[in-house]
Every structure is written in C-alpha cells, then in structure tokens.
Amino acid sequence: MSIGSANETTADPVPMFHPHAPRPGDPVPHIPSMAHYRAMYEESVTKPDVFFGKLAQDLLSWHKPFNQVSHGNFHEGNISWFVDGQVNACYNCVDRHALVNPNKVAIIWEADEMDHHRSITYGEVLAEVSRLANVLLKYGVRRGHAVAIYMPMVPEAVYAMLACARIGAVHSVVFAGFSADALRDRMLDAKCRLLITADQGKRGGKTIQLKNIADEALAECPAVHTVIVFQRTNDKSVPFHPPRDIWWHEETSNQRPYCPCTPMNSEDPLFMLYTSGSTGKPKGVLHTTAGYLLGATATTKYIFDLHEGDVHACMADVGWITGHSYIVYGPLSNGATTVVFESIPTYPNAGRYWDLVDKHKVTSFYTAPTAIRALRRLGDDFVKPYDLSSLRILGSVGEPINPDAWMWYHAIVGRSRCAIVDTYWQTETGSIIITPLPGCTPTKPGSATLPFFGVDVAVLDPQTGEELKGNGVTGVLAVRNSFPSIARTIYDNHARYMDTYLLPYKGFYFSGDGVSRDEDGYYWVRGRVDGTFHSLFESTQDYIVRLLTSRSAPLDVINVAGHRLSTAEIESALIKHPACAEAAVVGVPDDLTGQAIVCFCTLKSSDLDNKTLSAALTAQVRAHIGPFATPKRIIITPDLPKTRSGKIMRRILRKVAGREVVQEDLQDDAILKIKLGDLSTLADPAVVALLINSVADRL
Ligand code: PRX
C-alpha cells in the first residue's frame, strides 16, 4: 500500500493507506473509486427515497411492493421505511438462495474442538429452519410472539433465529455468557413464552451449563410454557423437565422440512436485543423487518465487498448485534457462506483464528480490537505459519482501535495487502454507519473514516446542541435524518427511546459517543461520552447527566472488550451482596480491554477479610450479569465521595481508580485541585485521602 499523510485534529500527522488494485483473479470491488462512493453517498443523503427505494428493490425480494419509501422523522420518533411493503427476512436469507442453488454452502461451523467442523448447504438450512418453525407453530408460537434464544455458537442458534423470522415471531437472543438473573430479566421484560436453549455449551475447552442456568432463570418465569432443548454435548446429567422441556432432535424429526414463510409488514418487529443503558435496567432495542434487513444486507455487500464464492467469518457471538447482522442476516441475505465459530481466539493456542482462515479459505474476517490486541501481545509466530492469501478484507468493530493494533492487523495478518475496515456502529443503528469501503477509501489507522450511504453524520456542540460545521471539530456524534436500519423503539418503553436518543438534541439521533472530524473530514470515534473514555468530555458528561437526570438515572456506560455495560447494572449486582452497603462502579483505561471495571464498595459490617470479600463481590457480579462483566478490581473503602445532596462524584473515583492521583499528591492541595478539579461541592473532603489510600492498599 502506498502511504501519504493526513492530519488528525488532536495528534501528529498519521499515515494514510490507499487501497491496492485487485490482485489478478480477485473481483473488482463493488465501489471501485471515491468518485463512485461520493456520487452514491450524495444521492443517498439528498434523495434518500430514490436511493433506498432502488436499493430495496435490488437487494431484497418482496412479497408485496411498498407504497412509499420512508415516513416519519426524529422529531416525532415515528420512523418507518418501505411503508406497507411485505417481506420475510427468512425468505431473503434462505429460500431465495436455496431455491436456485440448494447445494451452495451457507454455513461453515467451526466447533470448539479444533478438528471438528461441518458445512451446511442452503438447501439443508431451509429444511432445518422449516422443521423448527413447524415445532414453534405446534407449541403455539404465532406472529408477534416473543421467543427467547439462549444458545451456544452452533448452527442451530442461527436456525432458531431464522425459524422465528419465518413465522413472524420476534426473537430475543440472550448471549450465552449472561447469568440466570440476566436471562430471567430479559425473558420477563419481553414477555417470552418459549425458550430455545441447549443442554450445554462449549467454549475454549470449558463446558457451560446452559440448561442449568436456564432452569434457574425459568423458576421465576412462569409464563414460559415450552423449552426446546438442543443437544450440544448429550451429557446425561443435564436436567430435563417434561412436559415443559422438549428435545429439539425429537421434535424436529417429526416435522415436515418445509414451512411456508409468513409475509410480514416492513415495519413488523423482527427482533429485539437487550443492551446496557443509563440505568440498571437493560433496554430491549427493537428492530423492524425491512429496514433492518436492508441495512444488514447492503452494508455486508459493500463493506465486506461480497462476491460469488466468498467466505465471510465474523468472530462475534450471535448474542450481540454484530452476530445478528454480520453472521446471520447480512451474509445469508447476500447468499454468501458464513462462518459460525464456537471457540475463542486463544484455544487451543493463539493461532486458532488463522488456522480457521487458512482451512476455510476465508475472504473477509471481522473481529474486535480486544482480540487483535491480545493476539498481537502473544506474538507473530502464531500467525506466520498460516496461508492467509484468501483474505481480502479485515474488519474491526466494537471499540476504537488503537493505531498500533491497526498496524499489526494490517502488516502481520493482512500481509500489507488487505483492506482494513474499522467499522463504527451500535446495537441501535442495526448496521455499520461509519466505515471505509474496501475498494476505494484511503484509510488512517484509528479512524473509522467516512459515513456509509444514507447516514448524514453531524458533530454537535455538547452544551448548546449547535451543529459544528466544517472540518477540524470535536463534539458529540449525532445523525440527522433517519436511515432504514435505525431501531424504531425500546420494547414497551417508547418514552425511554425518545429520552435516550431523540430528545437530547432535537431533530437528531444522539449516539452517546464523542467524535472528532479531522481536516480531511474523517471521523475519529472517541468512545462513550456517557462513560469515562476521554477526559475531553468531562464537561460533556456533566452536561448530559444534567440533561437527562430529570427523566432517568445518570448515564454511565462503559465499553469493556467491545461489550457495552452499564455501571448502574454492576452496582445493583454488588449491593445485593449482604456485606455491601454502597457501590460505585467506574471504567478505567486498560491496555487490553479498552476499559476495565473498577468497583468501590463500602461495607455494612463483615467478619471477612478484604481479600475474601473482594472475591465474593466479584463472584456476585459474575453471577448476576455474567463472566464477561468480571471486575478488574474491587476496592473496599470506608466512604464514597458525595456531594452535599448525596450524589456520588464519579469523576473523583475515575481519577483515583485510574491512578491519575496518587498518595504523594495528598501533600499538595494545589496539585490535588489541578488533578481532581473543583472539590468544593464534596460533603466530606477527607474522603479523597481515604480513597487514595484504599487504592494504594490494594496494589
Ligand atoms: O462506543 C461505540 C463503540 O461501541 C458502542 C456500541 O456498542 P454496541 O451497541 O454493544 O455494539 C457494538 C458493536 C457494533 C458505540 O456506541 N464502538 C463500536 N464500534 C466502534 C466503536 N467505537 C469506536 N470505533 C468503532 N469502530
């Protein structure tokens, strides 16, 4: 790649990488030049109805054409797309390919065990999905009903999603790393009556007791009348409670391998997916059928530049939005081959990803910066032995990728000839919204570059809400005008949808992220402004907190290894422990995971020593949320920093936890003031020394 230079607003000049011409035998990219991109982008934002009307007809198969392309706006929160059209997502992802090309491989399953993999054709997917859809119908699931899915990364997890879509049921996938409490809360909120799960899961050589966990959750979900259990391990000790529990293999074998697709209205819900928000209560982000499917299909086609014969490998879990859009709906709707990967990047060793790429001749590969950083640390020798020549595109998602990790991905994995696509998006946007296009966009390590078609990005002044026009600006990331895959509501709580996304800045969708637009118009996403990511946003946070406290609890969202977590959710897990009086949770920068969780806890009374208590409180968080929310540190402290009105001053906790202030600073009030800011509102200034000493004790 040739290297030029460009300026970023806040740093030294950074290298710019220009796309290579395709190698002989490689396909010509769908968007081969910046002139193509600019022309299409221009039309997509100035004439969205023309652009998306055409795209929807080109990329999706409709049962009935739509009457109008778009309706509604961000002011009123009444967005709809492809009005009165009828479409079925499963038909688009399965039938239309299976009918033409039943022997084409739809799914490659790479099991946790290294030597275990399986290819499944579109024809087989159609039969399996149909059988399961018939089972759902037999047990009373109908259009509009919510079905919970709590599955390991097996092809049957994909079948479960598609079987729901086929009959118009709304799936709610709960990541298999979530605890029983988290599963229970999500099933109750969505009013699920049926759960699809497995006996056990396998991950990195470990066995996950999915059915046991599900049973614990189900004890408090009396409305769930049927539980379909897939046998992943066939372990005979797994509990099974008929008539509520039914075996997947027994039931599906009795069903016909065809089930007609239910034509769905464009705006009928396709799925909901819970994500952490400002309060301890997760929100069920709701996506509708046509708009979401078009967003997933178009972004996968253009950003992973899919062509006939391509194998797309997204390493996410189907329990997150990345898995929904880029393992299931996007690749399958395009008729591509998608990889379902059950294991982890370091099992049995750090060459696992590259073995997978080599073995299955993967053409586009998609993972998170946390995984890239971890593998980089383990050394190039795990990458070198493999033939990675099939790769054309390497994607990154979930958090800002630091330039060092980007460069390693580019040079060592991509062998300096693959396009790197740093893709920015969210559960709520349904599909990627800021990204390079592999055939044309010059890239800068660390920047997600430019908006995708139809996404009119605005940078707003956090205080005034005024749009910051031109280049070289920093503010909050917002989107003007709706686009097809944007979430339509929060399930059963439209007021919260309005409060969180559409009311903070009237007329815009508010992403919750900070962003800079550099001198070239490139976007650099800075991370959540409702968390701790960037000190630049201290005042922004204060502003947003002030703005939103009138309606909801203070925002505090952190991003740990690409997983969005709410500090309030972790706090409520901690205070359920009998010894914990109060808890305050903050995110601190971490080299590997981007941010890490630090918990400050005060005690009621306890006979236990701090080490035992820390272990118990850590276990408490793992049990209530899931192992992926494991705190990095628990700090037992005599007190928390509060204002006179009793509000916890998290700013102080973040700085103390991040070791930005240390014991020596206690000698000098002036330094303390510079480092911690104004402390005059603190009810008890002595608490600062207590906190710093508590952190020092733990080191
Ligand atoms: O802060 C941004 C970060 O992840 C958040 C969305 O999290 P979630 O809904 O769980 O979806 C993750 C996968 C799409 C965003 O608000 N984020 C995501 N991608 C990037 C990113 N931050 C910087 N660069 C990215 N490429």
- Nearest residue (CA) to ligand 1, atom 11: 426
513 in ligand 1 pocket by Cβ < 6 Å?
Answer: yes
Query: To the nearest whole number, what is the mean pLDDT of the chain?
Result: 92
**Does 355 reside within a domain?**
yes
**Does 181 reside within a domain?**
yes
Residue 274's nearest CA partner among 343, 367, 171 is 171
- Residue 533: pLDDT band by 50, 70, 90 thresholds? very low
322 in ligand 1 pocket by Cβ < 6 Å?
Answer: yes
CA distances (Å), origin 441, targets 19, 157, 449, 497: 7, 35, 8, 34
One domain for residues 454 and 574 = no
For strand 364-367 and strand 419-423, is the pairing parallel, antiparallel, or unpaired? Answer: unpaired
pLDDT at 278: 61
Query: Cα of 666 to ligand 1 centre, how many Å?
Result: 37
**Does 379 reside within a domain?**
yes
Using CA atoms, how far apart are residues 375 and 504, in angstroms rounded to an integer? 39
One domain for residues 449 and 573 = no
pLDDT at 4: 37
The residues pairing with 3 across neighbouring beta strands, listed in sequence order, are: 17
Residue among 278, 449, 509, 525 whose CB has most ligand 1 atoms within 8 A, to mutate: 525
Question: 609 and 643 in contact (C-beta within 8 Å)?
Answer: no
Average pLDDT value for residue range 47-74: 98
Average pLDDT value for residue range 47-54: 98
One domain for residues 413 and 278 = yes
Q: Does residue 547 register a pLDDT over 80?
A: no
Using CA atoms, how far apart are residues 638 and 600, in angstroms rounded to an integer? 10
Query: Cα of 484 to ligand 1 centre, how many Å?
Result: 19
Q: Which segments of 259-372 are extended strands (E)?
A: 264-265, 269-275, 283-288, 311-314, 337-341, 364-367
One domain for residues 573 and 451 = no
Question: How large is the ipTM?
Answer: 0.99
- Nearest residue (CA) to ligand 1, atom 22: 399
- Nearest residue (CA) to ligand 1, atom 24: 400
One domain for residues 243 and 380 = yes
**Does 494 reside within a domain?**
no
275 in ligand 1 pocket by Cβ < 6 Å?
Answer: yes
pLDDT at 13: 63
pLDDT at 544: 52
Q: Does residue 634 register a pLDDT over 50?
A: yes
**Which class for 231: exposed (0-12), middle (13-18), buried (19 or more C-beta within 10 A)?**
middle
343 in ligand 1 pocket by Cβ < 6 Å?
Answer: no
Q: Does residue 11 register a pLDDT over 80?
A: no
User: What is the total count of domains within the chain?
Assistant: 2
CA distances (Å), origin 594, targets 409, 524, 534, 562: 17, 15, 12, 8
397 in ligand 1 pocket by Cβ < 6 Å?
Answer: yes
CA distances (Å), origin 481, targets 46, 299, 436: 10, 18, 21
One domain for residues 564 and 421 = no
Residues 101-146 pLDDT 10s: 999 999 999 999 998 999 999 999 999 999 999 999 999 999 999 9
282 in ligand 1 pocket by Cβ < 6 Å?
Answer: no
Residue among 283, 559, 563, 628 whose CB has most ligand 1 atoms within 8 A, to mutate: 559
179 in ligand 1 pocket by Cβ < 6 Å?
Answer: no
**Does 545 reside within a domain?**
no
Which secondary structure element, helix H or strand E, spans residue 148, and what is its range? Answer: strand 146-150
Point out the domain boundary residue: 405, 433, 460. Answer: 460
Instruction: Give the ligand 1 atom nearest the CA of 396.
Output: 26
One domain for residues 572 and 450 = no
**Does 516 reside within a domain?**
no
One domain for residues 322 and 431 = yes
CATH of the domain at 112: 3.40.50.12780
One domain for residues 453 and 578 = no
Instruction: Give the ligand 1 atom nearest the CA of 528.
Output: 1
One domain for residues 429 and 566 = no
Give the domain extent around 596: 560-697
Over the range 512-531, which residues count as b (16 or more CB within 10 Å of their CB) and which as e? bbbbbbbebebbbbbbbbbb
Backbone dihedral angles phi then psi of residue 495, each to the nearest 5 degrees? -60, -40
CATH of the domain at 625: 3.30.300.30
528 in ligand 1 pocket by Cβ < 6 Å?
Answer: yes
**Does 666 reside within a domain?**
yes
Residues 63-86 pLDDT 10s: 999 999 999 999 999 999 999 999
564 in ligand 1 pocket by Cβ < 6 Å?
Answer: yes
367 in ligand 1 pocket by Cβ < 6 Å?
Answer: no
Query: Cα of 643 to ligand 1 centre, how many Å?
Result: 32
- Nearest residue (CA) to ligand 1, atom 12: 398
pLDDT at 3: 36
Point out the domain boundary residue: 393, 428, 460. Answer: 460
One domain for residues 454 and 564 = no
pLDDT at 531: 46
CA distances (Å), origin 465, targets 450, 505, 522: 22, 6, 21
425 in ligand 1 pocket by Cβ < 6 Å?
Answer: yes
Q: Output 386 or 654, whichever has higher pLDDT.
A: 386
Point out the domain boundary residue: 417, 432, 460. Answer: 460
Using CA atoms, how far apart are residues 690 and 454, in angstroms rounded to an integer? 52
**Does 503 reside within a domain?**
no
Instruction: Give the ligand 1 atom nearest the CA of 424.
Output: 26
321 in ligand 1 pocket by Cβ < 6 Å?
Answer: yes
Using CA atoms, how far apart are residues 202 and 109, in angstroms rounded to an integer? 13
Q: Output 654 or 264, whichever has higher pLDDT.
A: 264
One domain for residues 240 and 107 = yes
